[in-house]
Amino acid sequence: MSEAVDAARTVILTVDDDPAVSRAVARDLRRRYGDRYRVVRAESGASALEALRELKLRGAHVAVLLADYRMPQMNGVEFLEEALDLFPGARRVLLTAYADTGAAIDAINVVDLDHYLLKPWAPPEEKLYPVVDDLLESWRVTDGKQAPTTKVVGHRWSARSSQIREFLARNQVPYRWYSSDEPEGARLLRAAGEDGLRLPLVVTPDGTAMVEPDEAELAARVGLSTTPAADFYDLVIVGGGPAGLGAAVYGASEGLRTVLVEREATGGQAGQSSRIENYLGFPDGVSGAQLTDRARRQATKFGAELLTARQVTALEARGAARVLRFSDGTEVSAHSVILATGVSYRQLDVPGADDLTGRGVYYGSALTEAPSCEGQDVYVVGGANSAGQAAMFLSRNARSVTLLVRGPTPAATMSHYLLQRITESPTVSVRTNTVVEAAHGTDHLEKLTLRDTGTGETETVETQWMFVFIGAAPLTDWLDGAVLRDAHGFVLTGPDLTPDGSPPDTWALDRPPYHLETSVPGVFAAGDVRAESAKRVASAVGEGAMAVMLVHRYLEQS
């Protein structure tokens, strides 16, 4: 950590119930250390503890605590004992009168006292500063580390804790995880006045504590943009997967006033992939998170706005404007819209799965959970590339990974290179003709019932981890009545709008719809949400770029 950060965040706290003594100690400390450390003074143990709780939540570091022994209600030893729960690494000094030296010596055993000072401490150059210098150096070497970051206190089997961790990770927000039953997690809970019954607790770098926050509240607190800067744009993109990010890069770079609206986190399903190895230009592969981060930075470099945790609930055409309504009732309008909402993983419809989601049952890679799988037996459900990539990634730490495939072989749905790697892996096995019949557990997943689709025989296996990749469905119910969709909910475009390829009856323009244009002129669809799309990262990016080209053509003719 840099000296500049130390100066802004590291605290020396002094507490004495005598105002004159309190001011004198603080004055001498500021004279020597005020340019490098923040000196905080209090006049009671209770007020000092309140200050420490606030500092804890703000992520500040406390290097030294100086407490007077003789204080009413709470003496110095009692204060230091409670302060240890919040800042166990802070160095501890007791200010005592000569008559209290016996108590000070006893306190060495009670609170592991680092030093006691006799009052008065004049001259400070001889009696105070050498002591504090040594304590600050000791603290700096062993405890003065780590820049302020978002903290998440939760439980391993808390579904909401898992969701919050995944949200922060996918949005590239640095955070530190603390289990609620570990000492530091318990300290943060106490500092926030929480008993741990509601989790997670999220503490932002500025000290704001939130219990079970929703994504919109959390996004705003951790610095993600959630509100559009304008009311009207040339182009609004709904969805931040590869197609949406591709459209944002090309739209903004070509001078269109562009805003991208994402419901959860940019990257979509591709952003959750542990490894993408068949994407052009990355011969060694690239993680979904890396690819997403580069695309996001590229889009913002060209001036695109990226909004996170905003739910779009309706699309409406008002004359030449295309209006999108958010879940909070606000709106944003544009000349044109690109729908790039992608797809979401289908849910496993078996007994027990819903109750254990986020507590051993996960949809998608859930990369934040991977470290907890070390030495465990893990099951991955699915036979396509996403399931295979997850199996290989999880096999790095897991004792075993079993890939459950409904059909006789994954060869029909999985790339050859990936299937070959799975076959060669000593820790990954494939069980074909196998489905999950039920998930069992109380507060977390404990067992799975598996069924052989050929023989009908069932088997119960013990596991705490199941990752599900069983196909995907578009989230397009909010478009009902706005644009034409197929029977599965995918958005129809261009020649696919009608069986014979002619424009739909509602089409009012003289020209036919462009290839990626929906049944509403000026509204386009790109990527996985579009009917008959290729469902590949490269094709999604290409469709995003192509959609922008068609937006230009539409705007020129409007």
- According to the 3-state scheme, what is the secondary structure of 377-423? EEEEECCCHHHHHHHHHHCCCCCEEEEECCCCCHHHCCCHHHHHHHH
Q: According to the model, what pLDDT value does residue 116 have?
A: 84
Within 10 Å of residue 509's Cβ, how many Cβ atoms? 13
Upstream peptide bond of 213 is cis (omega within 30 degrees of 0): no
Higher pLDDT, 112 or 360: 360
**Whole-model pTM?**
0.76
Structure tokens, 442: 């109380």
Residue 385 CA: distances (Å) to CA of 277, 352, 369: 10, 26, 20
Q: How far apart are CA 350 and CA 167, in angstroms?
A: 26
Q: According to the model, what pLDDT value does residue 147 have?
A: 54
Residue 80 CA: distances (Å) to CA of 48, 331, 447: 10, 54, 47
Strand partners, 449: 438, 460
Q: How far apart are CA 455 and CA 459, in angstroms?
A: 12
Tokens 């542990």 — which residue? 274
- With 0-12 / 13-18 / 19 or more C-beta atoms within 10 angstroms meaning exposed / middle / buried, residue 80 is buried
| pLDDT band of 6, cuts 50, 70, 90 | very low
Q: Which residue type occupies 165? A: R
Average pLDDT of the chain to the nearest whole number: 91
- Residues of the chain with pLDDT > 90, as a percent, come to 74
Q: How far apart are CA 264 and CA 272, in angstroms?
A: 12
- With 0-12 / 13-18 / 19 or more C-beta atoms within 10 angstroms meaning exposed / middle / buried, residue 198 is exposed
Q: Which helix (H) or strand (E) holds 336?
A: strand 331-339
Q: According to the model, what pLDDT value does residue 103 have?
A: 65
pLDDT of residue 310 exceeding 70, the answer is yes
Structure tokens, 313: 């609930």
**Residue 157 in contact with residue 444, Cβ under 8 Å?**
yes
| pLDDT band of 105, cuts 50, 70, 90 | low
Least confident of 190-194, 363-367, 416-420, 516-520: 363-367
Upstream peptide bond of 408 is cis (omega within 30 degrees of 0): no
Within 10 Å of residue 88's Cβ, how many Cβ atoms? 12
pLDDT of residue 422 exceeding 90, the answer is yes
Q: How far apart are CA 340 and CA 383, in angstroms?
A: 25
Q: How far apart are CA 241 and CA 245, in angstroms?
A: 6
Q: How far apart are CA 440 and CA 158, in angstroms?
A: 16
Q: What is the mean pLDDT of residues 284-296?
A: 84
- Phi, psi (5° rounding) for residue 473? -135, 145
Structure tokens, 490: 């995918």
Q: According to the model, what pLDDT value does residue 472 have?
A: 85
**Residue 472 in contact with residue 365, Cβ under 8 Å?**
no
Nearest to 237 by CA among 525, 497, 515: 525
Q: What is the mean pLDDT of residues 96-116?
A: 71
Virtual CA dihedral for 493, 497, 503, 508, nearest 10 degrees?
A: -70
85: left (phi over 0), alpha (psi -120 to 50) or beta: alpha
- Residues 6 or more apart whose CB falls under 8 angstroms from that of 190 comprise 53, 85, 86
Within 10 Å of residue 454's Cβ, how many Cβ atoms? 10
Q: According to the model, what pLDDT value does residue 288 have?
A: 83
Q: Give how far the C-alpha of residue 235 lies from the chain's centroid of Cα atoms, to the nearest Å.
A: 27
- Residues 6 or more apart whose CB falls under 8 angstroms from that of 352 comprise 438, 439, 440, 441
Strand partners, 461: 448
pLDDT of residue 142 exceeding 80, the answer is no
**Residue 427 in contact with residue 399, Cβ under 8 Å?**
yes
Least confident of 13-17, 103-107, 514-518: 103-107
Q: According to the model, what pLDDT value does residue 266 have?
A: 92
pLDDT of residue 8 exceeding 60, the answer is no
Q: How far apart are CA 405 and CA 552, in angstroms?
A: 45
Nearest to 526 by CA among 251, 284, 282: 251
